[in-house]
Structures are given as C-alpha cells and as structure tokens.
Amino acid sequence: MKVSPPPAVAERLLLVCSLIGSFFLAQHMATSLRYSVPVAPDHELSIWDKGIPGFASDGSGCVRSGADIYSFDSQRQYRALDFDRAARVAINRDVMKGRWDGFWDQGMMVDTSVVFDRSGTAYTLVVPRDSNMERAALLWSSDHCRSWQAAALTGRAAMMEKPGPFSPREGPPTIVSFENYGAHTGPRLWLDLFERSDDGIARSTSGALLAADDNALGSNHSGGGNATFTSGGKIALVYASNDTSAEGTLGMARQFDLATMEWSGPAQAIARSSSKQPADPHATPSIAPTPSGTFIVAIGGHQSPILLFRSRRPHDVTTGWISEGAVGAPDSGPQFHEYTYPSLDIARDGTINIIARAEAGGRFKLVQFRRRPGGDWRRWDRKGSPHRVLVMPDRGGYGAWRHRTSMGPDGELFLNFSYYANNLTESEARQLGIFDGQRTSCREGRCWYIDAPTQPSRTLHSDDDGLHWK
C-alpha cells in the first residue's frame, strides 16, 4: 500500500495550527533567511513535517521530534505523545533505578529515528547530555510508542540501522555505539546487539562487541546514512578511522558472523576521502546493499567530491572494493566539486539516491544525485548539471540542513530537513533575535552565534524512487 500524508482532522486542530504557525514563522522571516523548495512548491504540511517518519509493515508508524513523538495508525489518524516523560519512566525503572537526573539530548545532533521490526515493535535511542547517566540507551515499545522499556548501551552516543527495501526487520536493529560525543572523545566503537526471546527484548548473549579501537565515527547532524547493514546472518560495518598517516579520512569495513558470533577478520581499508584532512567526522562512510547483494559505500568529504565504492562480492565486505569514482560529474566544473554530508539510499530496483549539501558559490544548498541501474548519474537540466537543487536558501553564508532520509513500507523515500544558518550578518542576527547573544570569530561583518536557532523542519516524500517530490 502506498502511504499518503496524514490528513488534517478536526480533533487534531491544535496540532495542525502549531504546524501552520511554524511554517509561517519560517516563511515570513526576513528575506535573507528564507529558503525555497523548487522540487515541491506545492508541499502540503502534515504531521510528517515534525521529523523523519518510521514505519511498521502495515503503514502505521511514529515520528519523533525532540521530546515528542507523534503516532499514526494505518488509517492515518495520529496523536501526540509525551516522549520525554515516557523515556524518564523507562530509563529510571530499567537502567538508573530511580537515580537518573533526566538530562538528555533533545536536539538534532544525534540519531532521533524510530525503527520498527516486523512484529511492530518500535525502537529509538536516548543520548544523555550533561547527565549522571554516562551511556546511551535503547528504548523499545510494543504499544506503538506509548510506553517504553530501556537498556543501557556501551558508548556515550549511538546510531541505529535504518531499514531499507532489502532489510529483513526480523528483530531489534543493529546498533553501533561510540565514545565521540560533544566534548568526549575516544577511539572505541562497539556493536550493541539485542535479540527477541520468549521474554521479550534482551541483550544478545554475546554482549557488546568491540568493533574498532581506531574509530573517528561520531554523531552527525546531517546525512545520517547507515554504518551497518544486517542480513543473511552477517553484519557489514563501515566507519571512519582516526588514522592520520596520510591525507584524507580512511574508510574502514568489517564483518561479523551472527552464526559463529565472531568477526570474519580484522577491519580492512576501503579508501580515503577526497578531502585532505585525516580523521574528519565530515567524511563518515555509509553503506547500503544493491539488488544483487553487493554493497555500495559512499565516503563523504568536506566541501569535496563524494566517492563511491562497490564490494567485489555479494554479501561480503572482506574481499575488497571496486572504485566507482566520484558521485556526479566533478569534471563538469568547479561548481560541482564541493559537497558535504551525503545520505545514501538504494531503491528496490537498484536506483541510487544521494542527498548532500552543496557549497559552491558560497550558497549552501541541499541537492540530489540520482543514478538508475546500469546508467550514469542523471543530468538534470540543459546545462548538464549532475545535481538537482532540492532546497535553496535566499542568503549566502554558512548553512546546514540537518537532513535525514528514511523509507516507507513500499519503498517511498522520505527526506526531512531543518535549516540552520550561522556566520550571520548583523541584520540576520537581529531578525533571529540573537544579536545580543554570545558570538565568536567575527570577520568581514559576519559572526558565529552560539544560540543560532534551527528553523522548523520539513519532510518531503517521493513515491517514484526520488524522481518527483511532494
């Protein structure tokens, strides 16, 4: 069944008014802070604009936005839920035994996705911030995001594997946790594995598995591609190494065998990023499978070309990689050289969609690359542009889009984004109400502001593998 945005209904009037109000707030700020969405000029507001939706197999699901969760059923009726309260109850009961101070990261710099398995159990993460709880937590719900249970993870922050068209969804998602979060740094990366039993969800008997001691992976506020893919009794893992012996950030791959509960060997190098800085968190690799079972890995850069690699063998990351070159066509000109924060999604037919920030010309846009199976990267206009502009700011200067993608039950592609502008002029800062706030690095009439806000989020969706957006 194809999923349509939930309709506005009378009993949800207050919520709809809130959405409309946030929309007009974003659209009627000063001209210098507005943005346009040329691929979806008639976009209609819905509950999905609150965040990135996660779906159960019947088309129902949940959207998480900070401390709130919005649950919608298969008839597309929805309700707002107090996730902050529910998370406090679960973590105090199951993890902290009543001692938790309740401080956690409710922003967009951490993984806020909701993932469902085939049984309809929902999963999400809580990352503590300035808290007496020093490890992230996995939460799961069997009543459609109303109440939760919790278990501590190993690292301070974590990311979940998001399902795609080839995901079995047989149980809890694979989780990677790590030490890199905020002011905390550390080289260790773990797999935190959970399983379903007659008694419910529990940590796997293998416990936490040290995956790497040279990790540079951390929470990323934009892009949000998968670090793992789990299928056929194996977990494929990719991460950025902290190796600084050469230019570029080194992407690594490792494989875990769920039958033997052992690693298939040490981590192996994929390649280095096109950007020169080593151990750059902007250059985090992401992984996704193709219909044939081979893996595609995208290695991001920092205002540099995105690189693509294909595994030599299906369902295996231990036998080497074949370079597929740079995404798009950087040889078309310098305006096609500078990209950061790529997402990676592969449709059931093998169509590859990559959404990234483009920085050429000093205007930080959100753009899309698309490649059909066996074809070249699509050229989007008469001039042969290898990327299509999805969202265009009306101002020059720094911007990030806090963009993430997810897939619906029939392969619909969802893109959630929130515009974050900084390095502001005096006029821009005044119109955002932060001119008197703390600022730093002021040069040529622009300053970086500590309290620069993120604008209300929007979610576009495509039901034809990224060709058209609504």
Question: At 19, is the secondary structure helix, strand, or coil?
Answer: helix
SS3 breakdown of the chain: % helix, strand, coil, rounded to 5? 10, 40, 50
Task: Answer with the residue of higher pLDDT: 221 or 237.
Answer: 237
Residue 431 forms part of a structural domain: no
For 243, phi then psi, to 5°, come to -60, 130
Residue 439 forms part of a structural domain: no
For the cut 70, the answer to whether the pLDDT of residue 1 exceeds it is no
| Tokens coding 177 | 């946790």
The confidence score (pLDDT) of residue 68 equals 94
CATH number, domain of 399, equals 2.130.10.10
Residue 231 forms part of a structural domain: yes
For the cut 50, the answer to whether the pLDDT of residue 10 exceeds it is no
The confidence score (pLDDT) of residue 281 equals 86
How many angstroms separate the CA atoms of 439 and 424, rounded? 10
The confidence score (pLDDT) of residue 436 equals 95
For residue 336, name the pLDDT band (cuts at 50, 70, 90). Answer: confident
Residue 429 forms part of a structural domain: no
Give which of 389, 384, 329 is closest to 361, Cα–Cα: 389
Looking up tokens 């990261």, which residue turns up? 105
For the cut 90, the answer to whether the pLDDT of residue 451 exceeds it is yes
How many angstroms separate the CA atoms of 198 and 466, rounded? 40
The confidence score (pLDDT) of residue 335 equals 78
Residue 321 forms part of a structural domain: yes
Which residues are within 8 A (CB) of 97 and not within 5 positions of it... i.e. 6 or more apart?
Answer: none
Q: Which domain holds residue 23?
A: 10-419+454-462
| Tokens coding 204 | 């796997």
Amino acid at 208: A
For the cut 60, the answer to whether the pLDDT of residue 15 exceeds it is no
Residue 314 forms part of a structural domain: yes
| Tokens coding 232 | 């056929």
For the cut 60, the answer to whether the pLDDT of residue 4 exceeds it is no
For residue 33, name the pLDDT band (cuts at 50, 70, 90). Answer: confident
Residue 2 forms part of a structural domain: no
The confidence score (pLDDT) of residue 210 equals 97
How many angstroms separate the CA atoms of 213 and 221, rounded? 23
Most confident of 218-222, 333-337, 359-363: 359-363
Give which of 419, 444, 445, 448 is closest to 434, Cα–Cα: 448
**Average pLDDT for 16-34:** 47
Please state the pTM of the whole predicted model. 0.92
Looking up tokens 């205002």, which residue turns up? 303
* Structure confidence by residue, pLDDT tens digits, 176-192: 999 999 889 999 999 99
H, E, C per residue of 334-375: HHHCCEECCCCEECCCCCEEEEEEECHHHECEEEEEEECCCC
* Structure confidence by residue, pLDDT tens digits, 299-314: 998 999 999 999 999 9
100: Cα separation from own chain's centroid: 27
For residue 208, name the pLDDT band (cuts at 50, 70, 90). Answer: confident
Number of domains in the chain: 1
Question: At 32, is the secondary structure helix, strand, or coil?
Answer: helix
The confidence score (pLDDT) of residue 333 equals 75
How many angstroms separate the CA atoms of 106 and 400, rounded? 18
The confidence score (pLDDT) of residue 12 equals 45
For residue 43, name the pLDDT band (cuts at 50, 70, 90). Answer: very high
For the cut 70, the answer to whether the pLDDT of residue 53 exceeds it is yes
The confidence score (pLDDT) of residue 207 equals 76
Residue 153 forms part of a structural domain: yes
* Structure confidence by residue, pLDDT tens digits, 337-346: 899 999 999 9
